[in-house]
Structure 1
Amino acid sequence: MPEGDTVWRACKRLDQALGGQELTQTDFRVPTLATTDLSGQRVLEVVAKGKHLLMRLSSAVTIHSHFRMDGSWHLYRPGELWKGGPDHQVRAVLTTGNWVAIGYRLPVLDLVATSAEDSVVGHLGPDLLSPAFDRDLALANLAAEPERTISEALLDQRNLAGIGNFYRSEVCFLLGLHPWRPVSSVDLGGAVDLSRRLMKANLRHAAQVTTGVDRPGQRSYVFERPGKPCRRCRTTIRTAPIGEPPRERVSYWCPTCQPEH
């Protein structure tokens, strides 16, 4: 699932291309928006809130989307071949004089009044990538359920927004935290600060890297490396689901570097 840094970069690209531009044509290919025409509206800005993308228009309407597992927005010049997937995966086409923005495989795509954006993002905790990130509130949110596992607490977007399974797994490894460690026994400030630092460092490039080595197969310590040797101690990386169905997620950890007790 794309995480906060991926969504932030997508918003930045869309904002640079579409910001201040008039929509000359719109085509929404989802049943609830099939007859919607936003042509003539100007794109004011495109911003991220956690893993949510908000495209604000001059009509005081916001196009809200969420990538979930494999959604994406692609930018093309008029007449350029679309390469993001087959046509049946296109959910939105937004055209300006200079660009065509194509939304592929978007499981969440709707319109809300800009004044009512809280109806879709108001449940989120502080955004890790926001300049106005409220660290104290994020810490209070995490600490509110002291017996919860640190893995589940970090992934709960109501506590803090933007972190996903990649950063959750890597932060726990770097801090020596077993995935099932209860929140009450964790340096929450250290976990939050490291999460934010890693995500902000990766805003500069498309790849998510925690090892300092931006090469395929070498970017992570434990994430998606089950059965492979730990980069530190050579112990075999383990994996198991954690969390309550249907929200359980696969966790990766080194039994030696991340002891259970």
Structure 2
Amino acid sequence: MPEGDTVWNTARILGEAIAGQVVTRSDFRVPRLATSDLSGWTVAEPACRGKHLLLRFTREGREPLTLHSHLRMDGTWRTYAPGERWTGRPAHLIRVALHTPAVVAVGYHLHELAIVPTRDEARLVGHLGPDLMGADWDAAEAVRRLEARPERPIADALLDQRNLAGIGNLYKAETLFLRGVWPWTPVGEVADLPALVARAHALMNANRGRWTQATTGSLRRGETNWVFERAGQPCRRCRTVIRRWTGGDHERITYWCPACQPGPEPLPD
């Protein structure tokens, strides 16, 4: 499940493989980019903003370009040696392939693909809040944006990328558990909102540079998370059964411990 750390790691791996390479052939398999051609362009660098990946290109005498993609729930980039079989995902999920003399970068099930002048990147990501993985992370601004709607349930507010960019269901659930916050608590009633934001930032950055998303301190299979995807299992702290509920904005799944994160019942509609 791609969240901000996954996108950051993807950008890093892509950069190590393809930065500085000249594209010899590009193949776009989405209608709006079917006639686009990046042949002759040099891959300058990959960058990310929240869950958005930005692959930047340069060419002498031309304005720099950016290839934008969003991984959402199931997108991924893979790299292969020239002539190597593209394995791991069905071919019908391929959305773009960038061929260079040293490597082929293949994007599977990517969303929101677009090519824009690099100077116009803000049109695609300018609405996002502070990036939890960014060098320009601004905790105070993230808190300010969350506080702008004090009546909103904190679980929904954390997932809103306009407040802070990069959080998905995993870090939402784990952050709220570790702070002892009932997921449907109105933002304005959350005790120490800055501490909650700081916890989210620390959790995500702890997984920088690795693919395993662990929040418990253990990388062992089945021990990586406190409540995420553990519905029906005992809480690691108090042994109360972890619960799961689907609802709120965009019908997202929420996991929580009723004892460690107490709140009124019944759940909101």
Query: Is the TM-score greater than 0.5?
Result: yes
Tell me the equivalent position of 1:137.
141
Tell me the equivalent position of 1:44.
44
Superposition pairs of residues 165-244 of structure 1, within 5 angstroms: 165-186=169-190, 187-244=192-249
Mapped to 1, the partners of 2:101 and 2:107 lie a distance apart of: 18
* Offset of residue 108 of structure 1: 2.0
Tell me the equivalent position of 1:82.
86
Tell me the equivalent position of 1:158.
162
Task: Between 152-161 and 83-92, report the one with greater CA deviation.
Answer: 83-92
Per the normalisation by structure 2, the TM-score is 0.94
Mapped to 1, the partners of 2:206 and 2:29 lie a distance apart of: 36
Mapped to 2, the partners of 1:240 and 1:208 lie a distance apart of: 22
Gaps spanning 5+ residues in structure 1: where? Answer: none
Structure 2 letter corresponding to 1:56: R
Instruction: Give the 3-state SS of the residue equivalent to 1:210 in structure 2.
Output: coil
* Offset of residue 84 of structure 1: 2.6
Question: Is the Cα–Cα contact under 8 Å of residues 140 and 194 in structure 2 kept in the other structure?
Answer: no
Tell me the equivalent position of 1:96.
100
Gaps spanning 5+ residues in structure 2: where? Answer: 265-269
Mapped to 1, the partners of 2:132 and 2:101 lie a distance apart of: 34
- The one of 93, 112, 117 aligned to 1:113: 117
Per the normalisation by structure 1, the TM-score is 0.97
Instruction: Give the 3-state SS of the residue equivalent to 1:140 in structure 2.
Output: helix
Tell me the equivalent position of 2:267.
none
Q: % of aligned pairs identical? A: 53
Mapped to 2, the partners of 1:242 and 1:208 lie a distance apart of: 24
CA deviations on 1:143-200 (whole Å, 9 max, x unpaired) are: 1111111101111000000011100000000010011111112221111111111111
RMSD: 1.0
Tell me the equivalent position of 2:54.
54
Tell me the equivalent position of 1:257.
260
Structure 2 letter corresponding to 1:31: P
Structure 2 letter corresponding to 1:248: E
Question: Is the Cα–Cα contact under 8 Å of residues 231 and 255 in structure 2 kept in the other structure?
Answer: yes
Runs of at least 4 residues off by over 3 Å? none
Structure 2 letter corresponding to 1:10: T
* Offset of residue 62 of structure 1: 0.6
Mapped to 2, the partners of 1:211 and 1:242 lie a distance apart of: 26
